[in-house]
Structure 1
Amino acid sequence: MIGQVLGDRYRIIKELGGGGMAVVYLGQDMLLNRNVTVKVLREEYARDEDFVRRFRQEARAAASLNHPNIVSVFDVGHSGGQHYLVMEYVEGTSLKTLIREGRIDLRAAVAITHDLCGALEHAHRRGIIHRDVKPHNVIVTPEGRAKLTDFGIARAVGSGTISATKMLLGSVQYISPEQARGESADARSDIYSLGTVLYEMLTGRPPFSGENPVALAIKHIQDRPVPVQELNPAVPAALASVVEKAMAKNPALRYQSVAEMAADLARLFASLPQGDGPLGSKRRVTSRRLRPAGYAAAAFVFLLLLFAGWWGFKAFMHVPEVTVPDVEGMEISAARRVLESNGLRCQIQEVHDATVPKNRVIKQGLAPGSRVKKGRWLTLLV
């Protein structure tokens, strides 16, 4: 694979690692001249229609997410019999590696978990359950910020469940009891897995160990982990309680949303001692609620925005309307000229479609004949 170019755009530079379904490479986007992460479906699965379908589901789910604590997905394609996914390249270290090296202090553990709460809340609001939250799928930047990656088994709620597909997905060391039983997963399943990740950051080990996946799954269903404070007496009771609540066997007894968990983490962060580890000591974790001292400033900003919005609305109402022309099938430069002559601007979004000639407009973002304000931006898929 090294040196190979996928989709006439992504040059493979070196292998970074891999999972059960795919191999991960460092690549170069030759069009935009930037480094990217390229995930290529393993050859033994590329011929399996079911695996290919799951791989494309990953792309569709992950591409709908745009959050600073989620690794962005840029492109998905098929080239030379290989299915690939192109993602943001993040400079950083796997959380699993940092835990193994003992580089996570209490404040870092809380800050990282708070970051992951933000990532999961963004996904859950869009009906997406990660289903595979684990330290291996978290990259921590040199500044200590966490980014969640590998929505490889995430699926939009309503498009199927684990029990429906008869598959038990996720890494067993971090799997929720309901997933271990083959039942459907929801947002609270991700919360349980996030609790196991926090447990491991605080104690240096996963909550359960076993000789095989079946034994591990049974422990998640039946056993209680060794209390966090027995393994690490430095963990305050309030933080241990967060772990215990997140890892409740009964989903109804867990946090009902990651926002609730994030609020508890934000409240206790300031009381944690400054650690001497390289991560977390300079991070600030804040609750979504404003402190009383911030109300006046927030109100002032709100009034400014309201005033600016009123003037902007008045100006907008005086902008004339134009009719959107039909540019589908046109060459890009011709389509751009037609749009500009009608008082419209365009932005280009590239997609892979082998049935359409290169540099031709596949679809336009606004229907031909629509009436819009002059100067409106129109997205062209090419």
Structure 2
Amino acid sequence: MSTEPSPQNPAALSAVFAGGGTAGHISPMIAIADALLERLPGARVTMVGTPSGMETRLVPAAGYELKTIDRVPMPRRPSADLVRLPGRFARAVRQAEAILDEADADVLVGVGGYVCTPMYAAARRRGVPIVIHEANAKPGLANRVGSALGGSVAVAFASTPLRGAAHVGMPMRRAVSELDRAAARDGAREALGVPGDAPLVVVTGGSSGAASINGAVGRFVAGGGLAGTGVRILHITGRGKTVTGPDGAPLAGEGYVQREYVDGMELAYAAADLVVARSGAGTVCELAATGTPALLVPLPHGNGEQALNAADLVRAGGAILTEDSDFTEGLIRSTVLPLVQDPAALARMSEAASRVGVRDADRRMADRAIAAASNRKDA
């Protein structure tokens, strides 16, 4: 990939990408950058984050150099930090301007996170076009600011309330967006240690796991809930998390396999007949893009964005939503087991999910960035 200025092509498009904090921001940013370089192999890409986010690990791992500016969170109550906010923000904007100047930026692509607000302000001051991708159904503060500053906005969910936004879907890795579940099923099950044709439920609470989901599944299995059903559960418990049985040893039982982590969720989507998961934006969009039926259990705290993330997919019939407090051994018995043993219902859900899923959001966003940059060059 070309990420540095080329003496042979000094006029190559220069795109600056800003985002960070969580994988939910960083993964789409990397997917868009990859797609832009696929479209324009001679383009120059500059990635910007803060020194303390996951971008410090994920961006270099993807093959890009990361530049950083100060992290300037908004204090939630009166404090000394609130008094210092204007000075800190001004310093971060100056740092952002220096990065845009050094890159001779033709476009700024922002995906959210603390880094984006000063980057948007700097781009506005420098006359650099702003292209925004909002991953959540409830837009974050930085992207609301970017929109107010005149950024061109695209969203992962059609229901996201940002005025004038285009619905493009969620940029994601090609291994997921181009997945053929049926063709990959057998190989994925072998790789995950759950071979065979038995109905399979994949349960995941994300890379860190979900204590309430882990607990309900653990109690269900320990109580003999799978015995004689012919159903299997692959339980992805989260890094450092182990579900134990009554004897304190790692839980084991008929049809039950637990793993802390799966390297590549495309394997889980291909192997599963039904996925039980939180409804983070990335997970919801990947389930839709791959046509994977799901039961979604939003986080019970925070600003309610996970329930909103799930709304479009649930409305379409591609997923079922249940509150965290309702996800119990009884619900697994009454809802999960009958559903995973109903091929016709699963097929309807898969078709419904595929209808709302978007597989080319990375390329759509790359094209928006290229168009914005081209318009500036032609002006």
Identify the TM-score tier after normalising by the shorter chain.
Answer: under 0.3
User: Please, what TM-score do these two structures have when normalized by structure 1?
Assistant: 0.25
Task: Tell me which structure has the larger Cα radius of gyration.
Answer: 1
Q: Which has the higher strand share?
A: 1
User: Please, what TM-score do these two structures have when normalized by structure 2?
Assistant: 0.26
Q: Which has the higher helix share?
A: 2
